[in-house]
Amino acid sequence: MDGNDVLATLAVTRWALQAARRGRPTLVEAVTYRMGAHTTADDPSRYRQAQELARWSGRDPIQRMAAYLRGRGILDDDAATALDREADALAATVRQRCLDLPDPSPQSLFDHVYVHDTEALVNARATFAGTEQTEPTQRAERPAGSAGVVRAAGAVQPAVVRPASTVTAVPVPVRSARKAL
């Protein structure tokens, strides 16, 4: 599916949510493009062609949705400006709330990777901790169809809604991971 088409993404994810609530597995492949760099330390010009960026720039999902709404008389300049201000304020609030979160234990890097810990994960956890652990631990399963939040790189994103047998998340802010190293 075109992951840069807001309405298509909405329709497909609604369908996937209904399937998940019925306990059915779903895979959504959203073909999209990351317009910016991975981080402020990244230089995408080293591995991207200018033509590629130009081609994808014309498919920007925000600009496409704005054009769609403007074409139907739903969005005008004043409303767009107000939405931009509201989005900027919300983003600033979310960033600050993420920065204010307590740092998790470095060991939490190994939590919730799989429904049941694998031998390799147990060994990695033990190596990281400098201790031996002989048996995998189990965690409580999240009910199928439940939603969650994933914290990563100082941003909050909704977790993918899937049956509990396939739920994975890495709930460790990058700043904490750096401290652990």
Over the stretch 20-59, which tens digit does the pLDDT of each residue have? Answer: 999 999 999 999 998 888 888 888 888 889 999 899 988 9
Chain mean pLDDT for the chain:
79
pLDDT in the model for residue 159: 40
- Say whether both 70 and 107 belong to one domain: no
- Say whether both 111 and 180 belong to one domain: yes
**Measured distance CA(83)–CA(64) in Å, rounded:** 15
DSSP annotation of 147: -
Which of the pair, 181 or 97, is modelled with greater confidence? Answer: 97
Domain tally, the chain:
2
Which of the pair, 96 or 175, is modelled with greater confidence? Answer: 96
88 falls within a domain: no
pLDDT in the model for residue 131: 62
Which of the pair, 1 or 146, is modelled with greater confidence? Answer: 1
- Residue 178 confidence class, pLDDT cut points 50, 70, 90: very low
CA 36 to each of CA 21, 57, 173: distance values in angstroms, whole numbers, following the listed order? 34, 11, 20
Nearest C-alpha neighbor of 154 from the set 170, 172, 167: 172
pLDDT in the model for residue 164: 40
Whether 148 has a pLDDT exceeding 80, the answer reads: no
Among 38-52, 131-145, 161-175, the least confident range: 161-175
Tokens found for residue 1? 């599916």
85 falls within a domain: no
Q: Which residues span the domain enclosing 46?
A: 1-75
Give the residue-averaged pLDDT of 69-81: 97
94 falls within a domain: no
Element (H, E) at 158: strand 155-158
| pTM exceeds cut of 0.75 | no
pLDDT in the model for residue 168: 39
Give the residue-averaged pLDDT of 104-130: 91
Beta carbons of 81 and 72 less than 8 angstroms apart: no
121 falls within a domain: yes
Task: Quote the percentage of the chain above a pLDDT of 90.
Answer: 54
161 falls within a domain: yes
Which of the pair, 131 or 54, is modelled with greater confidence? Answer: 54
Task: Quote the percentage of the chain above a pLDDT of 70.
Answer: 72
